[in-house]
Amino acid sequence: MDHLFILATIVFTAYGQLVMKWQASQLGTLPADTPGRIQYVIHLLLNPWIISVLVSALLGMFSWMGALSRFRLSYAYPFYSLTFVVVFLASAVLFHESITLNKSIGMILLVAGIIFIGQG
């Protein structure tokens, strides 16, 4: 049951990263001029999806606090790395980003490291 705090942290963090990417790509690139940048940022901050990302970050922080109250940091923190795996796989599905051999090997090594650390 305690591991649900770690899982919730991963889910909330991955959600935030994926939604930010989606919304930023919808809005286009950051303008070069200062007034354009200010308008870009204001538009993002008033976007309901970005507001949901902020809520998700807050919930992720509370989940992480719950995880740290139950586990040693040296145990819990490596599991947080699973966020990279979730975002990597989801970005391939949602944004058609490439899955290369090097990236795949890196993800396998990351998961293997988490398994080793989790058993220690």
- pLDDT, one tens digit per residue, over 85-114 is 999 999 999 999 999 999 999 999 999 998
pLDDT value of position 1: 84
Count the domains in the chain. 1
Round to whole Å and give the CA distance between 105 and 73. 26
pLDDT value of position 119: 78
pLDDT value of position 53: 97
pLDDT in tens, 51-71: 999 999 999 999 999 999 999
Sign of CA dihedral 11, 12, 14, 18: positive
Q: If pLDDT is split at 50, 70 and 90, which confidence band does 120 have?
A: low
| 8 A C-beta contact, residue 22 and residue 94 | yes
Which residues constitute the domain of residue 14? 3-119
pLDDT value of position 93: 97
